[in-house]
Amino acid sequence: MATDSSHIPELTPARSASSTLSAETVAIDASLRTPLTVLIGSALVWLLVASVLGLISAWKLHTPAFMDSCEYVTYGRIQPAQSNAFIFGWGFNAAFAVSLWLMARLSRGSLPGSAVLLIGTVFWNVGVTLGVGGIIAGFSTSIEGLELPGFATPLLLVAYALIAAWAVVVFRAGRSYQIYASQWYIFAALFWFPWLYAVAQVMLVFSPVRGTVQSVVQTWFASNLFLLWFASIALAAVYYFLPKLLVKSVSNYYLASLSFWWLAIFGSWAGIARLIGGPIPAWVQTFGAAASFMLVVPLVILGMNFFGTLSGSWSALKDNVTLRFIAFGITAFSLVLIGWVLNAVHGIAAITQFTYVTAAETQLGLYGFFSMVVFGSLYYIVPRVLNTAWASAPLVGVHFAASAVGVIVVVGSLLVGGINQGLQLADAHVAFAEITKASQSYLFAATIGLAILAIGQLAFALNFFWTLGRASADCVRSAKTLLSAQPEAAR
């Protein structure tokens, strides 16, 4: 199993020697070593925690008697605990790691000291632990996407500021005069998230607004958390890795800025279409639907950018694991956007609303797109930051195969099961108990898909900590030199 992977180029830190740029990237990567190790390590721990919680909650859906004597593991608590551990534990830690590294590399700036960043990371993870523990203990706010109790969220915002500020610091410290597409997305995402989150916290948790304005705010937050935060970070990674690994420029790059602004200006209205048919003003639903239809424009542009760049280079996918993950991710994102457009059609929304189709979309967006792109990015970033090759190449293969198959099984079964459920729900002659009975086999298939995903996650975590172990001797040494040398520079 411990095959040395040094013969696979992108899994090793090998750089084109003898260039000044190369010396610079070594310094940048070294400056990020400690904080990125901590961020990625915490992300992986949360990923596994979320996986365990996800398997429990999935099992409870088709076998309600499973562990039903204890209120701490009731479905209504385990399911939000899972989604929050996944989003705030895995998603954010990983997004921080990827965006800091991309920002540093693209701006050509090193991180001047990592103490504050590390404190921020610790705060963040303490906040998520408090919050997820709070949900299980019964302090959930019961607001979808914002279940973390009010005693944890202010800490998250403080921690966020301590972490995100460093992306701006490396940008300012950098020597690059170009601002590349990846940087627009990272900049924007880092600025948008605290705005979205602070508004949602104040208007929903700390000083709740009246009536269903709450639902408008909640939907505005939840949909934009995906589009303006997770999707932005992942798109930044795609814009970086695709041309870099294929050694060619992004095709139709001049259109990239149009899709960026389009997503920001109109995309941020689109998610509200989820409330179609709900007790909110009709004009809000109509605007949401219109904005959703307009997502066709960025869909086409991103397709031209990404698939246009990939076309003619498909063979590169065979021997480059980062590209394979990213190609899977952009395919998933295209499907997510198509889903948003379709779900804005009244006739379709009437069927898919409130069914497992929404769960399928969430999985496709957060796992099929965001997580897959992040996995791919980490396969490139980790060996460079740790300055050592991945410990095992077979484990990388296991991770990709399990993730791809797992996503397809989970999303496929929830989608088909959800459409079936929606059609039956819309037919009043089908008794409710029959609908739940008909969903059983689909839910069971989804549980199997989640188990396959978990195998891939285990392979990835094992490989990362193994690689970290091999690099640790070097790492401890360089961390010591960093800590002794950096405080002066940081002041």
Write out the binding residues for another protein, residues 353-412 only, by CB under 8 A: 353-355, 358-359
Question: What is the C-alpha R_g of the chain?
Answer: 22
What is the Cα–Cα distance from 8 to 1, expressed in whole angstroms?
15
Shortest distance in whole angstroms from residue 215 CB to another protein: 5
The distance of closest approach from Cβ of residue 49 to another protein in the complex, given in angstroms and rounded to an integer, is: 18
Q: How many Å apart are CA 184 and CA 261, to the nearest integer?
A: 10
Query: Which residue, 264 or 458, has its beta carbon nearer to another protein?
Result: 264
Q: CA 87, 391, 124: angle at the middle one, nearest 5?
A: 25
Q: Where are the alpha helices (DSSP H) in 344-431?
A: 346-352, 356-363, 372-386, 393-425
Q: Which of residues 197-236 bind another protein (CB under 8 A)?
A: 199, 203, 208-217, 220, 224, 228
Does residue 61 bind another protein (CB under 8 A)?
Answer: yes
Window 98-137: residues binding another protein (CB under 8 A): 135
Examine residue 325 and tell whether it contacts another protein (CB under 8 A): no
Q: How far is the CB of 243 from another protein (least distance, A)?
A: 17
User: Minimum distance between the CB of residue 75 and another protein, rounded to whole angstroms?
Assistant: 6
DSSP letter at 209 equals P
Told to check if 339 binds another protein by CB under 8 A, we report no
Assess 175 for contact with another protein (CB under 8 A).
no
484 binds another protein (CB under 8 A): no
DSSP E strands, 120-234: none
Q: Is 432 in the site for another protein (CB under 8 A)?
A: yes
134 within 8 A of 70, measured Cβ to Cβ = no
Distance CA 22, CA 203 (A): 48
C-beta separation of 380 from 241 below 8 A: yes
- Interaction between residue 272 and another protein (CB under 8 A): yes
Beta-strand (E) ranges in 271-330? none
Query: What's the closest the beta carbon of residue 154 comes to another protein, in angstroms?
Result: 19
Pick between residue 26 and residue 136 the one whose CB is nearest to another protein.
136
Judged by CB under 8 A, the stretch of 31-39, 89-97, 406-414, 423-431 that binds another protein is: 423-431
Q: Distance between CA 449 and CA 236 in Å, rounded?
A: 28
Residue from 60, 105, 108, 384 touching another protein (CB under 8 A): that is 60
Q: Site mask, another protein, residues 1-40, x = CB under 8 A?
A: ----------------------------------------
Nearest to 410 by CA among 61, 45, 44, 48: 61
Q: Which of 4, 23, 68, 165 binds another protein (CB under 8 A)?
A: 68
Q: Determine the 3-state secondary structure of 341 from DSSP.
A: helix
Taking the C-alpha atoms of residue 82 and residue 55, their distance in angstroms, rounded to an integer, is 9
Q: Please state, in angstroms and as integers, the Cα–Cα distance from residue 340 to each residue in 271, 272, 326, 486, following that order.
A: 8, 10, 21, 47
- What character string, x for contact with another protein (CB under 8 A) and - otherwise, covers 79-98? xx------------------
**65 Cβ partners below 8 Å, 6+ apart?**
none
Of the pair 219, 457, the CB lying nearest another protein is at 219
Q: Select 114 or 215, whichever has its Cβ closest to another protein.
A: 215
Residues 136-165, interacting with another protein (CB under 8 A): 138-144, 147
Residues 447-466 interacting with another protein (rule: CB under 8 A): none
The rounded distance, in Å, linking the Cα atoms of 222 and 197 is 9
Considering the complex, state which of residue 27 and residue 52 has its C-beta at the smaller distance from another protein. 52
Q: Which is nearer to another protein, 291 or 461 (CB)?
A: 291
Binding status of residue 188 toward another protein by CB under 8 A: yes
87 touches 148 (CB < 8 A): no
Query: Which residue's CB is nearer to another protein, number 136 or number 405?
Result: 136
Q: Tell which residue, 452, 310, 322, has the closest CA to residue 375.
A: 322
